[in-house]
Amino acid sequence: MVDSRSLHEQLNHKVEELWQEELEFLKTMIRFPSLSGKEHRLQLFLADYLTTKLKLQVDRFTPAIQQIEKHPGYSPPKWTYEYSDIVIGTHKGINPSEGKTLIFQGHADVVSAEPATEWDSSPWEPFEKDGRLYGRGSADMKGGIAAMIFAYRAVIECGYMPKNDFMIQVVPDEERTGNGALAALEAGYTADAALIPEPFGLQASVGQVGALWFEISLRTIKKDEYKQTQTNVIEKLHTITSSLMAFERYLNQTRSHLAFSDQDNPIDLNIGKVTAGDFASNEPVHATIEGRVALLPGEQISERKQELLDWIKQETKNDIWFKENPPTIDFYGFHAEGTLSDDTSPLFQELDAAHERVTKTKPTRRTLPSTTDARHFQLYYDIDTICYGPVGGQFHEVNEWVDLNSIKDVTKVYATFLANWCGVEKKIIKQDGP
Q: Which residues would be at the binding site for its own copies (CB under 8 A)?
A: 111-112, 114-115, 118, 175, 211, 213-215, 228-229, 232, 234-235, 237-238, 241-242, 245, 264-265, 270-287, 289-292, 333-334, 396-398
Which of 7/276 has CB closer to its own copies?
276
**Cβ of residue 367: shortest distance to its own copies, in angstroms?**
18
Which residue intervals of 32-128 are DSSP H helices? 40-52, 65-68
Residues 6+ apart with CB under 8 A from 139: 199, 390, 392, 393, 394, 395, 400, 401, 402
**Cβ of residue 75: shortest distance to its own copies, in angstroms?**
12
**Cβ of residue 36: shortest distance to its own copies, in angstroms?**
9
**Cβ of residue 333: shortest distance to its own copies, in angstroms?**
6
**Cβ of residue 234: shortest distance to its own copies, in angstroms?**
5
**Cβ of residue 117: shortest distance to its own copies, in angstroms?**
10
Residues 6+ apart with CB under 8 A from 145: 29, 46, 106, 108, 170, 197
Which of 114/382 has CB closer to its own copies?
114
| DSSP-based three-state secondary structure for 296 | coil
Which of 190/232 has CB closer to its own copies?
232
Rounded Cα–Cα distance for residues 25 and 149 (Å): 10
Which of 88/181 has CB closer to its own copies?
181
Q: What is the DSSP string of 212-235?
A: EEEEEEEE--S--SS-SSPPPHHH
Please give the order of strands across the beta sheet that includes 204-208: 339-340, 204-208, 365-368
| DSSP-based three-state secondary structure for 45 | helix
Which of 67/121 has CB closer to its own copies?
121
Rounded Cα–Cα distance for residues 171 and 61 (Å): 10
Question: How many angstroms from the chain centroid is the CA of residue 60?
Answer: 19
Which of 15/269 has CB closer to its own copies?
269
Cβ atoms within 10 Å, residue 302: 11
Rounded Cα–Cα distance for residues 103 and 101 (Å): 7
Residue 137 and residue 400 in contact, taking contact as beta carbons nearer than 8 Å: yes
**Cβ of residue 122: shortest distance to its own copies, in angstroms?**
17
Looking from the CA of 195 toward its CB, the CA atoms found within 13 Å total 36
Cβ atoms within 10 Å, residue 119: 21
Which of 228/431 has CB closer to its own copies?
228
**Cβ of residue 131: shortest distance to its own copies, in angstroms?**
24
**Cβ of residue 103: shortest distance to its own copies, in angstroms?**
25
Residue 323 and residue 317 in contact, taking contact as beta carbons nearer than 8 Å: yes
**Cβ of residue 123: shortest distance to its own copies, in angstroms?**
13
Which of 122/359 has CB closer to its own copies?
122
Residues 6+ apart with CB under 8 A from 341: 205, 206, 207, 348, 378, 384, 385, 386
Cβ atoms within 10 Å, residue 215: 16
Which of 90/252 has CB closer to its own copies?
252
Which of 251/351 has CB closer to its own copies?
251
